[in-house]
Each structure stands twice: as C-alpha cells, then as structure tokens.
Amino acid sequence: NAGVTQTPKFQVLKTGQSMTLQCAQDMNHNSMYWYRQDPGMGLRLIYYSASEGTTDKGEVPNGYNVSRLNKREFSLRLESAAPSQTSVYFCASTPDRGVGQPQHFGDGTRLSIL
C-alpha cells in the first residue's frame, strides 16, 4: 500500500498563477485533511473533508479551495497564488472522525510563490 500520495513534490509558481495540489489515499479512509507548515507555526489546518461529498474550513482557508473528488482523492486549489502561500503542504487521512484516529500524512508538496 502506498498510503497517502501527494503530487507534485515540488513546484514553483509566479504570483497570480493557479495550481491544484493532488492527494490520494488507498486505505479506504473516510476523512481527509490539508495542512500547511511554515517555520515556527506548526501544522495549520486549511480545509478538511469528514466524508465523501463534504468539506469544511479549517484555521487558514482564505485563498484556497478544495474538492473531494471521490473517497480516495482530495485536491487543494490555489486560484491566484500569492507569496504568502509559500509553504509546505501536507495531506492527511484518518478512517473517520471518531476518537483515537491517528492521522496518516503524505510526503508533502513544497510550494514556492515568486
């Protein structure tokens, strides 16, 4: 099993460009999450999807949109990239939102906005 797979691993964009980060999991998990990680800020939740067909905002949703395409895939879109969105983006999944649900993370996407 691959677990959680993120593509691409690295990307450089110019300000104003758009981009979609892809995430797929093969563990039959119901819930999926997008985080951004900045130095000294820990992991901050952007959006999450508790189950197929639902999405909810997290702590820092501004400038992002998400799509839960099916149970396996959860994509994150930057419509008009800004330098403040330079970060490492992690996708994660859990079986569901119940107690004691460790999150499984992907390897991350390193995104630079010039």
Partner 1 sequence: GENVEQHPSTLSVQEGDSAVIKCTYSDSASNYFPWYKQELGKRPQLIIDIRSNVGEKKDQRIAVTLNKTAKHFSLHITETQPEDSAVYFCAATISGNTPLVFGKGTRLSVIA
* Shortest distance (Å) from residue 12 CB to partner 1: 17
In 1-114, alpha helices (H): none
Angle at 83 between CA 81 and CA 85, to 5 degrees: 65
Instruction: Provide, rounded to whole angstroms, the least separation between the CB of residue 94 and partner 1.
Output: 8
For residues 45 and 60, what is the distance between their CA atoms, to the nearest angstrom? 6
Among 30, 58, 65, 67, binds partner 1 (CB under 8 A): 58
Binding of partner 1 by 48 (CB under 8 A): yes
Q: Which residues, other chains included, contact 40 with Cβ-Cβ below 8 Å and sequence gap of 6+?
A: none
Dist CA 3 CA 103 (whole Å): 11
User: Count of residues binding partner 1 (CB under 8 A)?
Assistant: 22
Does 42 sit near partner 1 (CB under 8 A)? yes
Q: Is 105 in the site for partner 1 (CB under 8 A)?
A: yes
Residue with tokens 């691409």: 8
Residue 65 sits in the site that holds partner 1 (CB under 8 A): no
Min dist CB 53 to partner 1, Å, is: 17
Paired tokens of 75: 């994509």
Which spans of this chain sit near partner 1 (rule: CB under 8 A)? 31, 33, 40-45, 48, 58, 90, 97-103, 105-108
